[in-house]
Amino acid sequence: MNIFACFMDGIRRVNSAKRYIFVVYLINVLLALGLAISLGGAIKDSLGSSMAAERLRDGFDGFWYSNFSAQARDLAATFDPSVVGIGAIFNSLDAFLQGNVLDLETSIVAIGIFYLLLWSFFSAAFISIYIHRDDTSGPHSFFQQGAHFFWRFLQLAIMAGIIYYLLFHFVMPWLTDRVTDLTRQMVDERVVFSYVLIKYLILWSLVLGVNIIFDYSKIITVWQDRSFVLTIPWQALRFIGSHLVSTTGLYLCLGVVGIVLILFYWLIVPGAGQASWVAITGVFLIGQLYILSRIWMRCLFYAGQTTFYESVAGQLDSEPDTAEAAIKPDKVEGEGEMQAEQTPQSDLSDTT
């Protein structure tokens, strides 16, 4: 199956189980809402009955913000007017790209990690239903599958986390030092910038490489219902290595869609000018649609990759050793000839 077919099939699979995306979104909202209420309270208290509130409502008030930020602690200290519009996304993306997400305020990181753990649960559930290709099994099965694979996914997440830690805490500083050494005598910002770009290209090639390995590790874990997961990343790596063009091509294709999504949001998101509850709610809903689409994108990554894995592994499942089959190389030029339709039950019966 070619990349486009996997992509399109992934969309079909994701859309066949939309309601679970809303469940994840709802959790995301509820977790963030608690913090937002707390921050809103701090802002409200700080404004009191002053006329600064009017200015802040109509746009922004520099005097109030100077005073507020000079005295803000903990959660309130994270407030910055650059959260307006695309800034909310860029601020988080910037921290993400530089591996600084865990350096944010404690309560945000704590909730983020909790959400990350929930994703270990939900990614198992999503991959399970995507392997089943439709949502016929119902919520009970969805959550049951999540619970069934949770511990194994958690182990995979820990393994991945260790590698990410090594990448951001050892490889990245090492790369930064190399760039610093190489650009030490350079006086042209454009040249230095290109070196920095190369640094991030290398770092993020590794990070995304790890991510793709663990994405397929999850798929293999569910596909084969393997209880011992420690060797699965190796199996996933061999699978990716055997189908390098297709797996990375699909991953990059999905990534491009994610970037287009950000650009589209940038295009449509309004600035700071809302002065009524209706306008505020409208802008908030646009933001929520973006968050929802991010979750949808995340699921699309799983679904698209599941489709591809299924198209390769399922095709070869008829051979005696499923594990071996999963890593047999495809012929890139012949990918389109592979059969996409599989019956998961028969695949699962071959495992362990």
Partner 1 sequence: MRITYEDGREVDLTPQLTFIQPDDGNPDDRTVLQAPLAEPVESGSKVTVSIEWEAKVPRAFARTGAIGDYYFVAQWFPKIGVFEANGTWKCHQFIQTEFYADYGNYDVSMTVPTGWVVGATGQERSQQDNGDGTTTHRYYQEDVHDFVWTANPYAQVYTALFEDPSLPSVDMRLLLMPDHLHHKDRYFEATRAALKYYGTWFGAYPYGHITVVDPAYQSRSGGMEYPTMFTGGTRWLSPPEMLSPEGVTVHEAGHQFWYGIIGNDEFEDAWMDEGFNTYSTTRTMEAAYPERVLTKRYFERFIPVVFSSVKRGASRTAGADGFGGFYSNLKRDAMATQSWQQGPNAYGLNSYTKPGLMLRTLENYLGWETFQKVMSTYFDRWKFKHPRPRDFFAVVNEVSGQDMSWYFEQIYFSSNVFDYGVGSVKSKAVEKTKGYLEKEDGLVFENLSKKDTKDGDDKKQFLSTVFVNRWGEGVFPVEVQITFTDGSQATEQWLGRERWTRYDYTRSSRIERVVIDPDHKLTLDINYTNNSWIKESAAPLAAGKWAAKWMIWVQSVMEYLSFFA
Chain residues 277-336 in contact with partner 1, contact rule CB under 8 A: 277, 280, 283-284, 287-288, 290-291, 294-295, 298
Q: Rank residues 93 and 260 by Cβ distance to partner 1 and give the closer one.
A: 93
Asked if 160 and 210 count as a contact pair (C-beta separation under 8 A), the reply is yes
Using CB under 8 A, pick the residue from 13, 46, 309, 347 that binds partner 1. Answer: 46
Using CB under 8 A, pick the residue from 12, 18, 19, 50 that binds partner 1. Answer: 50
DSSP string, 144-193: HHHHHHHHHHHHHHHHHHHHHHHIIIIIHHHHHHHHHHHHTT---HHHHH
Report, in angstroms and rounded to the nearest whole number, the Rg of the chain calculated over CA atoms.
23
Does 49 interact with partner 1 (rule: CB under 8 A)?
yes
3-state secondary structure of 16: coil
Using CB under 8 A, pick the residue from 2, 15, 16, 98 that binds partner 1. Answer: 98
Does 85 interact with partner 1 (rule: CB under 8 A)?
yes
Residue 235 CB partners (closer than 8 Å, separation 6+): 217, 220, 323, 326, 327
Using CB under 8 A, pick the residue from 106, 136, 185, 345 that binds partner 1. Answer: 185
Helix axes 277-309, 18-47, angle to 10 degrees: 150
Asked if 288 and 29 count as a contact pair (C-beta separation under 8 A), the reply is yes
Structure tokens at 345: 């039950």
Q: Hey, which residues between 232 and 261 contact partner 1 (CB under 8 A)?
A: none
The residue range among 98-106, 128-136, 312-320, 323-331 that interacts with partner 1, by the rule CB under 8 A, is 98-106
Does 267 interact with partner 1 (rule: CB under 8 A)?
no
Does 84 interact with partner 1 (rule: CB under 8 A)?
yes
Asked if 317 and 350 count as a contact pair (C-beta separation under 8 A), the reply is yes
Asked if 157 and 116 count as a contact pair (C-beta separation under 8 A), the reply is yes
Structure tokens at 129: 């239903």
Using CB under 8 A, pick the residue from 183, 242, 248, 351 that binds partner 1. Answer: 183
Please state the closest distance from residue 324 (CB atom) to partner 1, in A: 29
Please state the closest distance from residue 8 (CB atom) to partner 1, in A: 24
Using CB under 8 A, pick the residue from 12, 19, 82, 201 that binds partner 1. Answer: 82
Q: Rank residues 143 and 164 by Cβ distance to partner 1 and give the closer one.
A: 164
Asked if 157 and 165 count as a contact pair (C-beta separation under 8 A), the reply is no
Q: How many residues in the shown chain lie near partner 1 by CB under 8 A?
A: 108
Contact letters for partner 1, residues 127-166 (x by CB under 8 A): --------------------------x---x--xx--x--
The residue range among 140-148, 179-187, 307-315, 337-345 that interacts with partner 1, by the rule CB under 8 A, is 179-187
Using CB under 8 A, pick the residue from 274, 316, 340, 351 that binds partner 1. Answer: 274
Residue 238 CB partners (closer than 8 Å, separation 6+): 327
